[in-house]
């Protein structure tokens, strides 16, 4: 090898050596970064990233699937997770386990959650209603953990409640590891399962569902606008929840009502919030047209048998290339029992005495009934009662039929369809029978 002579040449040689040395040092770092990225990708192997998009639109009264693309492919729910956190919170409110004005402690674990958050501080307290509004509007991860730690004893304990409740609702492909939806390899769901959860929030807790319509709320002097901006521009939309993490893209579960038709739509994997919202608007527009054409004057509120899920985790088809030839339905959920663990599993709480939350159903042993659903149209509610009696005539043939008007927080009225004046065992047996037929049923105390 021939080396140049002179001082400048020596400096040049040293410079070349230095550059080469830097290059040698940098290669392992780059390789390490690529290896780490590959490992990170592998940890999400259960979720098919080759086709991140999925959607479904259903008729909320009948369960009919009006459109579906990849409805059973596994996805990360992101902040859609908070729908289940709120479902269990509403369950606790209705059962009297917590109250709107009850103050819950803020732990260091809750306060240190990643954004979005309310900025809660450890050692302080937050009202249950403020925590709920924080989840609905700001999608606050710190508020989600506050509720989880109180109701489940810990994040992990609450996640077990969430998954248990998901199974009770028929969400067979969903698993929860945390109450917020922050990135977690084991936090998985499907578009179909999220439609089931959205329907459960609407039909099981109509008195609490208007929380999802809140445009904004102020906490500690800070204004928080609802992340679901599609409510501002889509006619009839009244909720429910957005979600985003990098692994999932932009997700949305939305519900809108026009006339006597209510739809629930789910979109996973949007490239941006605007693109996701525009896609949802288009899907709902097309589905409203289809639902209104399909409706007849004698349409009943009965639920149809569940459709076999795609066990190959493949696409069920979209509206253009693989349209479903036969009418298909999802089995919309029935709330069968409280999901809270026994006192042996979770330490007993000692909340301050609270007034019963508005519209709470007080369960006693003096009288029982079953609730079939809650309907904005009393005609549909009456028909639902007829269908329920026909589904379990021996158990419910002598039950008294009731339509109980109930005010919602938004000032509207829904009618709870109930069959009452039966004993507890008959109520439980009737719900088991009806649920097997795909009919909503909830045992309730009536006195």
The number of beta carbons lying within 10 Å of the beta carbon of residue 341 is 15
With H, G, I as helix, E, B as strand and everything else as coil, classify residue 104: strand
Locate 66 and state its tokens.
């009006």
Per DSSP, 320 falls in state: S
Q: Is the dihedral of CA 350, 352, 353, 354 positive or negative?
A: negative
- Calculate Rg over the CA atoms of the chain: 26
Strands (E), 174-296: 216-219, 222-225, 237-245, 249-258, 261-270
Rounded distance between C-alpha atoms, residue 375 and residue 405, angstroms: 9
Active site residues: 79, 82, 139
Contact predicate 159/177, CB 8 Å: yes
Contact predicate 358/96, CB 8 Å: no
Rounded distance between C-alpha atoms, residue 252 and residue 262, angstroms: 16
The number of beta carbons lying within 10 Å of the beta carbon of residue 227 is 19
Closest residue by Cα to residue 231 from 250, 209, 210, 255: 255
Phi, then psi, of 317 in degrees rounded to 5: 120, 155
């Amino acid at each position: 090898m021939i080396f140049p002579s002179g001082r400048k040449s020596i400096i040049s040689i040293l410079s070349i050596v230095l550059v080469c040395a830097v290059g040698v040092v940098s290669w392992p770092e780059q390789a390490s970064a690529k290896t780490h990225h590959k490992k990170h990708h592998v940890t999400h192997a259960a979720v098919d990233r080759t086709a991140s998009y999925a959607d479904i639109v259903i008729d909320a009264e009948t369960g009919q699937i009006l459109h579906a693309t990849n409805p059973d492919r596994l996805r990360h729910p992101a902040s859609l997770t908070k729908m289940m956190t709120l479902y269990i919170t509403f369950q606790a409110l209705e059962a009297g386990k917590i109250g709107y004005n009850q103050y819950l402690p803020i732990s260091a674990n809750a306060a240190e959650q990643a954004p979005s958050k309310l900025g809660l501080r450890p050692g302080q307290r937050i009202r249950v209603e403020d925590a709920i509004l924080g989840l609905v509007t700001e999608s606050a991860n710190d508020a989600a953990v506050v509720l989880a730690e109180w109701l489940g004893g810990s994040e992990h304990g609450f996640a077990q409640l969430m998954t248990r409740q998901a199974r009770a609702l028929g969400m067979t492909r969903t698993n929860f590891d945390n109450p917020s939806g922050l990135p977690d390899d084991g936090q998985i769901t499907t578009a179909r399962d999220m439609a089931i959860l959205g329907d459960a929030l609407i039909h099981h807790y109509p008195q609490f569902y208007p929380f999802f319509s809140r445009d904004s709320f102020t906490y500690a002097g800070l204004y928080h606008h609802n992340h679901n901006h599609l409510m501002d521009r889509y006619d009839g939309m009244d909720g429910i929840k957005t979600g985003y993490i990098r692994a999932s893209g932009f997700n949305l579960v939305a519900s809108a009502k026009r006339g006597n038709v209510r739809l629930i739509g789910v979109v996973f994997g949007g490239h941006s919030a605007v693109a996701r919202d525009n896609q949802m608007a288009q899907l709902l527009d097309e589905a409203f047209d289809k639902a209104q054409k399909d409706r007849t004057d004698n349409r009943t509120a009965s639920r149809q048998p569940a459709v076999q899920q795609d066990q190959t985790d493949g696409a069920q088809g979209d509206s253009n290339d693989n349209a479903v030839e036969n009418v298909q339905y999802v089995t919309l959920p029935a709330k069968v029992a409280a999901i809270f663990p026994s006192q042996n599993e979770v330490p007993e709480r000692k909340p301050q005495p609270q007034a019963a939350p508005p519209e709470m159903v007080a369960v006693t042993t003096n009288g029982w009934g079953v609730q079939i659903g809650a309907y904005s149209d009393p005609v549909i509610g009456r028909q639902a009662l007829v269908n329920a009696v026909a589904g379990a005539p021996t158990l419910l043939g002598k039950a008294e039929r009731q339509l109980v008007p109930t005010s919602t927080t938004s000032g509207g009225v829904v009618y709870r369809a109930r069959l009452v004046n039966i004993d507890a065992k008959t109520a439980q047996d009737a719900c088991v029978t009806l649920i097997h037929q795909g009919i909503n049923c909830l045992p309730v105390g009536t006195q």
